[in-house]
Amino acid sequence: MKKKIAIIFGVTGQDGFYLSKLLLKKNYIVHGIKRRSSSVPTKRIEKFLNQKNFIVHYGDITDTSSIQNLISSINPDEIYNLAAQSHVGVSFFTPLFTANVNAIGVLAILEAIKNHKKRIKFYQAGTSEMFGKTKDKFQSEKTNFNPQSPYGTAKVFAHQITQNYRDAYNIFAANGILFNHESPMRGDNFVTKKIVSSLTKIKYGKQKKLVLGNLYAKRDWGHASDYVEAIYKILQQKTPDDYVIATGKDYTIKEFVNKTAKILNLNINWKGKGLKEIGIDNKGKTIIIVDKKYFRPLEVDYLKGNASKAKKILKWKMKNNLNDLIKEMIKHELNELKIN
Ligand code: NAP
Ligand code: G4F
């Protein structure tokens, strides 16, 4: 049987790693698109680089000509767009760049798909950040969008233009609306990775303090490996549609800190309030402090998803719970620190 061909925009990121692994296992030919960088951008996907079914090309989704050339020369069956300026906090500092990549870049891919000779299936990496400030206790495909950042606002454009091209041009274009998902491959400046990495180093005397922002926002955290299974399933359906992917459980940042500390056998006593809140260890040493530089001009206070549609239609199931995820992330940190 002829092998399926996929393009992954955003192949060098966390989800790019897990999706590449999954598609290679399913015998796809995977074309990953990397950006030029002054350092090595392919660290996460290093182990795939010598496989004959894994080919990496330079490209950038803000460069329309590079997208058109790649799509017409590769002639893929499926395109997964994971490429984004994916940090919500940073989007307040780089709003135009974020909008160019996260919104206009998506439109450029859709235009190239519209003009291509073959029907290509398209996945757009949407996010729970699009719900933003919401009154719904659980957010589903029916919840209104009310984004609270340049990141979330740009992603709403991407979501809606994907639906628009689906309806106007009969393109197989589908949106995932994924809640936070983490893994050992998570970028260093996202809160889970920062907490796990810092507390592990503190436990082994290699770091003094963990500095955080808002401890009381709530997030619904899953494992990236489970979420890329859903991404894949979304493109294997007969008709394109949009799906929420979430665990249905939410925790505050402080609860995530406490869970991580418990697994590491670190005791934390909390004292004070607001910017003066601190976490103290058994010996009375302050190991966690709050700094206003990590607060955002606007915050999304809580996110908790209802993934019933994905469970019913995609038959999507999660394999990892939050404790499994934290344990795996700690194990990875210990390996990095060469501690057994
Ligand atoms: P990530 O680790 O930050 O990866 C983002 C990827 O996009 C990287 O490969 C990055 O390349 C690439 N990229 C950025 N700008 C680009 C451009 N102009 N042209 C081409 N590639 C570009 O993010 P992730 O966690 O894997 O998330 C994947 C996607 O899902 C993103 O679109 C994100 O917004 C979305 N999402 C993530 C979550 C989550 O919790 N992880 C939840 C919902 C939605 P470099 O390596 O060169 O920077
Ligand atoms: O880990 P975060 O930066 O993730 P955030 O903002 O929820 O965005 C992530 O999930 C989205 C899906 O909902 C994705 F679309 C997006 O691409 C990204 O993957 O922050 C989580 C929470 C926020 O409320 C933030 O204010 O943690 C709070 N926080 C507290 N201290 C911190 C910190 N966040 C970061 N990054 N760093 C801190 O020191």
Residue 319 is predicted with a pLDDT of 97
As given in the structure block, the two tokens for residue 245 are 């992917």
129 has catalytic annotation: yes
Mean pLDDT of 19-32: 98
Q: pTM value?
A: 0.98
Give the chain's domain count.
2
pLDDT tens digit string along 145-198?
Answer: 999 999 999 999 999 999 999 999 999 999 999 999 999 999 999 999 999 999
* Number of the ligand closest to the Cα of 45: 1
Q: Which two tokens stand for residue 308?
A: 């019933």
**Is residue 202 included in any domain, yes or no?**
yes
On whether residue 325 sits in a domain, the answer given is no
Same domain, 241 and 256: no
**Residue whose CA is closest, atom 27 of ligand 2?**
191
Query: Which element (helix H / strand E) includes 327?
Result: helix 322-336
- pLDDT tens track for 80-96: 999 999 999 999 999 99
* pLDDT averaged over every residue in the chain: 98
Q: Is residue 45 located within the same domain as residue 145?
A: yes
Same domain, 234 and 206: no
User: How far is the C-alpha of 133 from the C-alpha of 136, rounded, in Å?
Assistant: 9
312 CA from centroid of ligand 1 (Å)? 28
Judge whether 326 lies within some domain. Answer: no
Output the pLDDT for position 4: 98
Active site residue 127: yes
pLDDT higher than 80, residue 340: no
Q: Which atom of ligand 1 is nearest to the CA of 62?
A: 18
Domain for residue 160, yes or no? yes
Q: What CATH number does residue 209 fall under?
A: 3.90.25.10
**Are the CB atoms for 207 and 198 separated by under 8 Å?**
yes
Give the closest residue to 287 by CA, choosing from 255, 256, 328, 257.
257
Answer yes or no: do 130 and 49 share one domain. yes
Q: Is the CB–ligand 2 distance for residue 269 below 6 Å?
A: no
Structural domain that includes position 107? 5-184+221-248+302-320
- In a mutational test of the pocket of ligand 1, which residue from 82, 181, 227, 303 has the highest number of ligand atoms less than 8 Å from its CB? 82
Q: How many residues does the chain have?
A: 340
Residue 85 domain-assigned (yes or no): yes
Domain identity same for 103 and 226: yes
| 37 and 154 co-located in one domain | yes
d(CA 281, CA 176): 41
* CATH number of the CATH domain containing 130: 3.40.50.720
Statement to judge: residues 242 and 266 lie in one domain: no
Q: Are residues 226 and 91 in the same domain?
A: yes
d(CA 210, CA 38): 29
Both 197 and 284 in one domain: the answer is yes
- 287 and 231 fall within a common domain: no
- 80-114 burial: b if 16+ Cβ within 10 Å, else e: bbbbbbbbbbbbeeebeebbbbbbbbbbbbbbbbe
Residue 274 lies in a domain: yes
Q: Over the stretch 67-79, which tens digit does the pLDDT of each residue have?
A: 999 999 999 999 9
Best substitution site from 15, 85, 88 to test ligand 2's pocket, by max atoms within 8 Å of Cβ?
A: 88
Return the pLDDT at 1: 82
Same domain? 20 vs 145: yes
Indicate if ligand 1 lies below 6 Å from the C-beta of 99.
no
Q: Is 151 a catalytic residue?
A: yes
Task: Let me know if residue 287 belongs to a domain.
Answer: yes
Residues 296 and 307 in one domain: no
